[in-house]
Amino acid sequence: MKKYFIITVAIAIFASCTTEEPQMERTVFIPDPIDSRLPAYTEWGYNAFGAKISRRYFVAHNDIAPCRILYRDGLLRFSMSGYWEYNNYGSITETTLTFIFPFERLYEYADLMMLHNEKIELTASTGCVVNLSQNGKDETLNIVDGELHFCRAQMLFIDEQPNRVILSGVFNFRYLSETDEFPVTVSNGRFDFGINRDIFYAY
């Protein structure tokens, strides 16, 4: 039986310098103590994510909404958008990584609580698809192996009212590219998002 978690906080605690709601939508980057170019793994709804793609960094940024979730036709689409440093000269490009997988019907953002401790095997045999979009080009990745793990789902209450679901987890996978016979490794992936009705869609 799954266990769900509830967080109740005062706005003044969650938003340290202001009590305005928009502050909660921002990305808060807490450096990882081992690799400071990645965000630390947190479970506080900091709207941050990060991973290494072939040793280059793909991370959230305040210029881009870091997460969107869509449920349609029996599939959950979980997207992370940020900047990817794609060469050795520091050039970056806006990139979106999307995990698409079968899941039971979701009607509203609160139903995301069902993702608590859910592990998704990222292979075609499980009905999962992983897409990488950048520079106007969408690529469906040829996944070799990997896993997306929603470690924790928590309902955040503010002033005793449900405000958002905090989804936190990790991911790692390898895929075959069109230009290299060896797999590309996506490693050290982690995410921590506060999801409300503004970024969750179901139809």
pLDDT tens digits, 122-158: 988 889 999 999 988 899 999 999 999 999 999 999 9
139 in a structural domain:
yes
Evaluate whether residue 146 is within a structural domain. yes
Number of domains in the chain: 1
| Domain-located, residue 86 | yes
Mean pLDDT of the chain: 88
Assigned domain for 91 exists: yes
Residues 134 and 84: beta-carbon distance below 8 Å = yes
Tell whether 87 is covered by a domain: yes
Residue 67 lies inside a defined structural domain of this protein = yes
Residue 12 is inside which H or E element, if any? helix 11-14
- Residue 23 inside a domain? The answer is no
Per-residue pLDDT tens digits for 63-109? 999 999 999 999 999 999 999 986 555 678 999 999 999 999 999 99
Q: Is residue 112 part of a domain?
A: yes
Residue 178: which domain range? 44-202
Position 61 pLDDT exceeds 60: yes
- Is the confidence at residue 189, as pLDDT, over 50? yes
Nearest to 138 by CA among 82, 178, 95, 74: 95
5 with 150: CB under 8 angstroms? no
